[in-house]
Amino acid sequence: MTQEYIEIRGARENNLKNVDVRLPKRKINIFTGVSGSGKSSIVFDTIATEAQRQLYENFSMFIRNLLPRYPQPNVDVIDKLSMAIVVDQKRLGGGSHSTMGTITDISPVLRLLFSRIGKPFAGYSNVFSFNDPQGMCPECNGLGQKLGFDGTKFYDPDKSLREGALQVPGFASWEKDMYANTGYFDVDKKLSDYTEEEMDLLLYSPPRKFKLRMGEGTMNATYMGIIEKFNRSYIKRDLKTLSERTQKMVAPYMQYGPCPLCKGARLNQQTLSCKINGQNIASLSAMEVGELIPFLREIDDPIAQPMIETLTERLQHLVDMGLEYLNLNRPTDTLSGGESQRVKMVKHLGSSLIDVLYIFDEPSVGLHPRDVYRLNSLLTKLRDKGNTVIVVEHDPDVIRIADHIVDVGPMAGSKGGNIMYEGSLAGLLKSDTLTGKYMNHAFALKEQYRKATGHLPVTHAKINNLRDVSVNIPTGIMTVVTGVAGSGKSSLIHHAFLTRYPEAVLVDQSPVGTSSRSNPATYTGIMDLLRKAFANANNVNASLFSFNSKGACENCQGSGVIYTDLAFLEGVKTPCEICQGKRYKDEVLTYKLDGKNISEVLEMTIKEASEFFTAKDISKKLQTLMEVGLEYLTLGQPLSTLSGGECQRIKLASELHKKGSIYVMDEPTTGLHMSDTGRLISLMDRLVDGGNTVIVIEHNLDVIKSADWIIDMGPEGGHKGGQVIFEGTPKDLVAVKDSHTGHYLKQALS
Ligand code: ADP
Ligand code: ADP
Ligand code: ZN
Ligand code: ZN
């Protein structure tokens, strides 16, 4: 068969310099290049958009007339496109009713299995669904969780009743005294010394009649455990019917906890009594995928075999993607970006489509070097089924499996947008491009490690899979937390550490800016300085130069674009016809500062602006943006168009000159080229040298080797992880036999 190509000619989206690209079909095509060079502009804004548009052209004229015209990417020709499926890192939403099991279509098959061979026999497979009224737990309506309260806050175990151990909100002091006067308890015994039975009586006893001691006499009264009483007073009633004062009072004690009836299983008791080999459907759904497969293989029932084959095949795909530590119950909105992307991949792997164009956005995110081979084998499988695969990627180990590489550059923004190299891997390695050079660069450990100035302890952390972890996080140096996916890095840092040290600053890649109108100038405060400068130079009001107020183009209200909301497709933006996207009224544009109007200034790159402006306050802010490598952004570029890596750097810019802060970063190298990673490491070094503490979760070996201190989690993911297996310098980590991170670091050094 002759090789077919997707032909792209004259691509000019964003920073692309009228480029041509020729991608072999049914091959793995990998796009490389520094962050901001234009990879997404070709892959997503040109190829994926055109594929989407062509699909749209297939709608009937009638339907299309109801919709505004779909924007055509700025390109002369795209030939031989197939239907495209974009597998990105957008989180899987869906709320608490969307789980790993539902999204991968594994749960329905498991339900079918229970309805066929579960004992005692239960009717329809619907009763096994917590989304179905017939199956759901009546207590929590299938949520598995219920609003309850933290009863341990109601008493001080180190005190006796006489010393005032009870601190129940809303109980008057005579009510508290009443517990002491029941005659049931030794009023001088500390609660921590109570027997199990006494504690049960104090907290949970249902109502019972008793004689309350009143001075010399007694009186008939009703006794109830504290928690029982609190429950009846507040919880069993609709909270909204309580007075605002009472709501405020009980709020601090309220929290979502496992449903007391189903214990989080979400199903009703009858459904839960139906079992296969001693396990009900809830316990199978709570089992890690890696354990569930062998359990299913044990089932010895001829009726079940076809279902078991379907189940184990799908579950095996999850294992192949390195997700064996997840369980089917896991709500999809708690998965990380990288995990979400891999779950989406699994969905596609099961499909029988061929000749599809699959587009992936840095699929290696979140994967430990140990697991990258799994991703590679999945990409290869998709290709071998007859599909075209396009991947934007920075990881050298993924780049190495490409049939065809397109390197975009040489640099970012206006200095990028060219095709620097197109062809085989061997050719790239010999080429003079930045990517080629970095693929060959020498890898060595640093000589000197900084000494910690102190430490921040995390003690007895048990969240998720953490096994009672106690660890000291050093201050004043750079610590990297490593370990395979699912080993517990996020649980340790996001849940255990950040909740204890809320003053720590999380510098992540999430979008910056509160509105679609934010840009680098507004974000850094440069805009305010510019408005004043323009106002002074022209003797007019500063508000005229704000596109959020008086000076704004009236047609687009200063946004520069007209946004058309579409009911069932993504909305469409078109440039405003009145101001041509300039955002200001014509009148405003007549005012100049050193010969430029405000719109011309906002079109300057940060580098250009730094050469144009001499005023100290403006220069200083521009300088900081240059230091984080964002010199190529224009002052007016909407922050919503920034990549994750660019968002991260603009946030870092505002932190660069601070002292004594704690910074936490989660996979900061996402979206970064190997050369960008080098720059990021220098920035982190500057933060540390400036007297700050830096804590990073990373898989990237370049970052790992730059650490002063490593905390390696493991040994594996899920219940096989959750332990600190190493603390020390990278140099010492290399020698640790049982550490996957140590192993891969060693391999990279040789
Ligand atoms: P990469 O994917 O290589 O990181 P991109 O294609 O996202 O790079 O970006 C290339 C350049 O185009 C960058 O300077 C980026 O800031 C800019 N850019 C991206 N999207 C837009 C947009 N919608 N409007 C203006 N500039 C944009
Ligand atoms: P890492 O950051 O090393 O990839 P995580 O801390 O995210 O690991 O996960 C550790 C374990 O805790 C895994 O088994 C994961 O499935 C589980 N886990 C993480 N977050 C949640 C959550 N929100 N709900 C339930 N389990 C979770
Ligand atoms: Zn329940
Ligand atoms: Zn306008």
The answer to whether the CB of 33 is under 6 A from ligand 1 is yes
E strand or H helix at 379, and its extent? helix 372-384
Tell me, yes or no, whether 252 and 176 share the same domain.
Answer: yes
**Which mutation among 19, 572, 641 tests ligand 1's pocket best, with the greatest number of atoms within 8 A of CB?**
641
Tell me, yes or no, whether 636 and 738 share the same domain.
Answer: no
Tell me, yes or no, whether 152 and 121 share the same domain.
Answer: no
CATH code for position 384: 3.40.50.300
Distance 547 CA to ligand 4 centre (A): 10
Residue nearest to atom 17 of ligand 2 (CA): 464
Tell me, yes or no, whether 575 and 660 share the same domain.
Answer: no
Ligand number nearest to the C-alpha of 267: 3
Tell me which residues have their CB closer than 6 angstroms to ligand 2: 325-326, 330, 334, 464-465, 483, 485-491, 713, 717-718
Distance of alpha carbon 168 from its chain centroid, rounded? Answer: 39
Quickly tell me which residue has 């009836």 as its tokens. 261
What tens digit of pLDDT does each residue of 308-345 get?
999 999 999 999 888 999 999 998 888 887 888 888 88
Tell me, yes or no, whether 618 and 662 share the same domain.
Answer: no
Domain end marker among 219, 237, 258: 258
Query: What letter does residue 206 receive in the DSSP assignment?
Result: P
Distance 266 CA to ligand 3 centre (A): 5
**Does 59 have pLDDT greater than 80?**
no
Distance CA(51)–CA(65), nearest Å, equals 19
Residue 648 lies in a domain: no
Quickly tell me which residue has 């990517």 as its tokens. 435
Can you tell me which atom of ligand 1 is nearest the CA of 671?
Answer: 4
Q: What is the mean pLDDT of residues 89-113?
A: 84
Ligand number nearest to the C-alpha of 583: 4
Distance CA(437)–CA(429), nearest Å, equals 7
Distance 488 CA to ligand 2 centre (A): 6
Other C-beta atoms closer than 10 Å to the C-beta of 119 total 11
Containing structural domain, residue 674: 442-512+654-749
CATH code for position 268: 1.20.1580.10
The mean predicted confidence, pLDDT, of the chain is: 89
Q: What is the mean pLDDT of residues 33-43?
A: 93
Tell me, yes or no, whether 538 and 627 share the same domain.
Answer: yes
Residue in 96, 111, 100 with CA at minimum distance from that of residue 146: 96
| Structural Rg of the chain based on CA atoms | 31
Distance CA(722)–CA(489), nearest Å, equals 8
Tell me, what's the pLDDT at 68?
58
Ligand number nearest to the C-alpha of 714: 2
Distance 390 CA to ligand 4 centre (A): 37
Domain end marker among 321, 351, 372: 321
**Does 570 have pLDDT greater than 60?**
no
Query: What letter does residue 604 receive in the DSSP assignment?
Result: S
Provide, rounded to the nearest whole percent, the portion of the chain with pLDDT above 90. 56
**Which residues are in the CB-under-5-Å shell of ion ligand 3?**
137, 139-140, 259, 261-262
Distance of alpha carbon 748 from its chain centroid, rounded? Answer: 28
The answer to whether the CB of 316 is under 6 A from ligand 1 is no
**CB contact set of 228 (below 8 Å; sequence gap of 6+):** 203, 204, 205, 206, 207
Specify the number of domains making up the chain.
5
Cα distances from 375 to residues 89, 321, 422, 572, in angstroms, run 15, 6, 23, 34
Mean pLDDT is lowest, of 8-17, 355-364, 513-522, 687-696, for: 513-522
Residue 328 lies in a domain: no
Residue nearest to atom 1 of ligand 2 (CA): 486
Distance 669 CA to ligand 4 centre (A): 37
The answer to whether the CB of 43 is under 6 A from ligand 1 is no
Give me the sign of the Cα torsion angle 547, 550, 553, 559: positive
Tell me, what's the pLDDT at 108?
93
Residue nearest to atom 22 of ligand 1 (CA): 641
Tell me, what's the pLDDT at 595?
95
The answer to whether the CB of 629 is under 6 A from ligand 1 is no
Tell me, yes or no, whether 160 and 247 share the same domain.
Answer: yes
Tell me, what's the pLDDT at 565?
64
Residue nearest to atom 18 of ligand 2 (CA): 464
Tell me, yes or no, whether 596 and 547 share the same domain.
Answer: yes
Query: What letter does residue 634 receive in the DSSP assignment?
Result: B
Residue 625 lies in a domain: yes
Distance CA(458)–CA(473), nearest Å, equals 8
Residue in 738, 722, 719 with CA at minimum distance from that of residue 291: 719
**CB contact set of 416 (below 8 Å; sequence gap of 6+):** 15, 33, 34, 36, 37, 38, 408, 409, 410, 632
Q: Which pair of tokens denotes residue 531?
A: 């408005």
Of 74 and 246, more confident: 74
In the chain, DSSP finds a helix count (H) and a strand count (E) of 30, 25
Tell me, what's the pLDDT at 196?
84
Tell me, what's the pLDDT at 60?
75
Tell me, yes or no, whether 614 and 545 share the same domain.
Answer: yes
Domain end marker among 384, 408, 440: 440
Query: pTM for the whole thing?
Result: 0.80
Mean pLDDT is lowest, of 39-48, 316-325, 339-348, 580-589, for: 339-348
Ligand number nearest to the C-alpha of 574: 4
**Cα angle vertex 444, ends 439, 446, to 5°?**
135
Tell me, yes or no, whether 631 and 536 share the same domain.
Answer: yes
Tell me, what's the pLDDT at 95?
67
Q: Which pair of tokens denotes residue 64?
A: 């299309």
Can you tell me which atom of ligand 1 is nearest the CA of 34?
Answer: 3
Do residues 575 and 560 touch, judged by C-beta distance below 8 A?
yes
pLDDT band at 394 (very low <50, low <70, confident <90, very high): very high
The answer to whether the CB of 634 is under 6 A from ligand 1 is no
Residue 340 lies in a domain: yes
Residue 40 lies in a domain: yes
Do residues 146 and 256 touch, judged by C-beta distance below 8 A?
yes
**Does 558 have pLDDT greater than 70?**
yes
Tell me, yes or no, whether 416 and 346 share the same domain.
Answer: yes
Assign 3-class secondary structure to 417-484: CEEEEEECHHHHHHCCCHHHHHHCCCCCCCCCCCCCCEEEEEEEECCCCCCCEEEEEEECCEEEEECC
The answer to whether the CB of 644 is under 6 A from ligand 1 is no
Q: Residues 710, 677, 617, 599: what is their CA dihedral angle, to the nearest 10 degrees?
A: -140
pLDDT band at 126 (very low <50, low <70, confident <90, very high): confident
Can you tell me which atom of ligand 2 is nearest the CA of 487?
Answer: 3
Residue 596 lies in a domain: yes
**Which mutation among 360, 637, 669, 679 tests ligand 1's pocket best, with the greatest number of atoms within 8 A of CB?**
637
**Residue 413: Cβ-neighbour burial (10 angstroms; 0-12, 13-18, 19+):** buried
Can you tell me which atom of ligand 2 is nearest the CA of 331?
Answer: 24
What tens digit of pLDDT does each residue of 653-682 get?
888 888 899 999 998 898 888 988 998 899
Can you tell me which atom of ligand 2 is nearest the CA of 495?
Answer: 6
Tell me, what's the pLDDT at 566?
59
Query: What letter does residue 666 receive in the DSSP assignment?
Result: E
Ligand number nearest to the C-alpha of 264: 3
Ligand number nearest to the C-alpha of 288: 2
Of 121 and 48, more confident: 48
Distance 112 CA to ligand 1 centre (A): 48
The answer to whether the CB of 705 is under 6 A from ligand 1 is no
**Does 551 have pLDDT greater than 70?**
yes
Q: What is the mean pLDDT of residues 723-736?
A: 96
Tell me, what's the pLDDT at 569?
53
Residue 327 lies in a domain: no
Tell me, yes or no, whether 348 and 413 share the same domain.
Answer: yes
Ligand number nearest to the C-alpha of 337: 2
Distance CA(271)–CA(135), nearest Å, equals 7
**Does 587 have pLDDT greater than 80?**
yes
Quickly tell me which residue has 């600190």 as its tokens. 724
What tens digit of pLDDT does each residue of 267-313 get?
999 999 999 999 999 999 999 999 999 999 999 999 999 999 999 99
Quickly tell me which residue has 């670091």 as its tokens. 745
Can you tell me which atom of ligand 2 is nearest the CA of 326?
Answer: 16
Residue 411 lies in a domain: yes
Distance 37 CA to ligand 1 centre (A): 7
The answer to whether the CB of 128 is under 6 A from ligand 1 is no
pLDDT band at 573 (very low <50, low <70, confident <90, very high): confident
What tens digit of pLDDT does each residue of 599-631 get?
999 999 999 999 999 999 999 999 999 988 898
Can you tell me which atom of ligand 1 is nearest the CA of 643?
Answer: 7
